[in-house]
Amino acid sequence: MKALELFLGILTAVGGFVEIGELTFALNAGSKFDFSLLWVVALGTVGIIVYGEMAGRVAAVRKQPVFHLIRERAGLTAGLVTLIAANLVNMLTCAAEIGGIALVWQLVSGWPYRPLVAGTFVLLTLAVWFLPFKWIERVFGLLGLLMIVFVAAAVASKPDWQQVSGGFIPQLPKAATSSEMWLYAYFSVALFSSIVLPYETYFYASGAIEDRWKPKDLNLNRIIIIGGSVLGSSLAVALVILGSQQLSGREIEAQLPGTAALAAGISLGRWALIAALAGMVFAFGGAAVETTLSGAYNLAQFFGWPWGKFRKPREVPRFHAAWFILLLLSTLLILSGVDPVSVVEYSIVFAVVTLPFTYFPMLVIAADKRVMKSFANGWLSNTLGWLFLVLTTLAALCAIPLLLITHGGRG
C-alpha cells in the first residue's frame, strides 16, 4: 500500500515539472542555448527536493499545511497578499493547462477548440468531484508517466553525452551578445521558477495530510519527494536535449504542444507521437487538478475552513465550492481567447515573485526545535533552505525586469 503513496510524488512532480509552461520553456531553452541551461534544471530539482521534503515533514509531524503556516508565521496582511498572489498564479496556470489539453485533444480529434475547452472543464470537474484523492494521484500520476517517451526520444536523437554532462556545470553562453545574455538570464530564472513552482509544495503538503501521513512516514516522504523530483527533472532534461537536437539547428521556437510531439515523433516514429500526445493530456490534466485543488486548499487553510477531498461535499461545502469556482474561472479565462502558452509564461514569472513568501514561513517552522522537536531541520536542511531562500529572493527581484527587457523572453 505504501508503494502506492509514490503516486503523490509522481503526480506532484509530473504535474509540476512537465506542465505546458515547463514543456515550452525546456524545449526553447534547448533550442536557444543547447545544453547550457541544464545546470538550472539540476539546481531547481535540489530546491524543490529541499522545500518539498520540509513541507511533507511539517505536514506529517504537525498536520499543518503550507498556508496555515504562512498565516501563523507571516501574519494576516502579508499572508493575505501571498494568498491572493498564489491563487492568481494558480488560476493562470490552471487556465493554461486547460487550453493545453484542448490543443492536444484537437490534434487527435480535429474538433473545434472552444468546445474542447468546455469538454476539458467537464471532464476535470467530474474527475475531481468523483475520484477519491488516491485515485486522482494514481490516474494522473500513472498515465502522466507516458511522458517518459520524451526521455526515449532524447536518447534516440543521439546527443553528444559529453556535451550534455558539461551542461550541468554552471556557465554563461560563449561569445554571446548583450541581448543574448539577457535572454539567457531570463531563461535561467524562468526555468528555475517553472521547476520550483509554489503550488507543488501547497499540493504536496495538503496531499500528505489527505493521505494521513504520520511521523513514521518521514522516510517515505524523503523517498517520494526525491524519486518524484528526479523523475520530473529527467523529463525536463530530456525536453532540453530534444529542443537542442531537433529544434536548435533549425531555429524553431516552440509555441504549441504539437511541436514537442513532433520532436518526439521525428526521433521515434508514430507510436512515440501518440504516447507523447496522451502523456501531455494527463500531465497537463494533473497540473490542472493540482493547481485547482491547491487554490482551494490555500483558501480553506488560510481562513480556517474545514477541508479535504476525503470529506463529503456537504461536510466541507466551501472547500468544494472553491475548487469548482477556480476551475470555472480558469476555463472562462481561456475561453476568452488568450493563448495558453503566453498565459503560462507570464504566470511562471509571476510565480517566482511569490516563492520567497511561501518558502520563508516553511523554513522558519521546519527549523523550529520547540515546534518540530526531534523532527526539526538538521544542518543540511537549514543550510540548503537558506541558500535556496536567497536564490528565490534574487530570482523574484530579477523576474519582472528580465521579462520586460527580453520582450517576454522573445529576444
Question: Which residues bind to another protein, rule: CB under 8 A?
Answer: 72-75, 77-79, 81-82, 103, 106-110, 250-253, 255-256, 258-259, 261-262, 265-266, 269-270, 273-274, 277, 353, 356-357, 360-361, 364-365, 367-368, 370, 393, 396-405, 407, 410-411
Of 223 and 252, which CB lies nearer to another protein in the complex structure? 252
Of 150 and 357, which CB lies nearer to another protein in the complex structure? 357
Sign of the alpha-carbon torsion through 168, 170, 176, 179: positive
Instruction: Report, in angstroms and rounded to the nearest whole number, the Rg of the chain calculated over CA atoms.
Output: 20
Of 43 and 277, which CB lies nearer to another protein in the complex structure? 277
Q: Can you tell me the distance from the alpha carbon of 114 to that of 121, in angstroms, rounded to the nearest whole number?
A: 11
- Minimum CB separation from another protein for residue 60, in Å? 20
- Minimum CB separation from another protein for residue 311, in Å? 29
* Long-range pairs of 62-66 with CB within 8 A, sequence gap ≥ 24: 62/365, 62/371, 62/372, 63/209, 64/365, 65/202, 65/205, 65/206, 65/209, 65/297, 65/301, 66/201, 66/202, 66/205, 66/206, 66/298, 66/301, 66/358, 66/361, 66/362
Of 141 and 257, which CB lies nearer to another protein in the complex structure? 257
Of 316 and 372, which CB lies nearer to another protein in the complex structure? 372
- Minimum CB separation from another protein for residue 231, in Å? 27
- Minimum CB separation from another protein for residue 135, in Å? 30
The secondary structure of the chain in percent helix, strand, coil, rounded to multiples of 5, reads: 80, 0, 20
Amino acid letter for position 196: V
- Which H or E element spans position 96? helix 76-109
- Minimum CB separation from another protein for residue 15, in Å? 24
- Minimum CB separation from another protein for residue 372, in Å? 11
Task: Tell me which residue has cell 477548440.
Answer: 113
Which of these, 405, 383, 29, lies nearest to 194 by C-alpha position?
29
| The C-alpha cell that represents 154 in the structure block | 532524447
Of 98 and 326, which CB lies nearer to another protein in the complex structure? 98
- Minimum CB separation from another protein for residue 397, in Å? 6
- Minimum CB separation from another protein for residue 336, in Å? 16
Of 251 and 312, which CB lies nearer to another protein in the complex structure? 251
| The C-alpha cell that represents 193 in the structure block | 521558477
Q: Can you tell me the distance from the alpha carbon of 354 to that of 69, in angstroms, rounded to the nearest whole number?
A: 15
Of 34 and 217, which CB lies nearer to another protein in the complex structure? 34
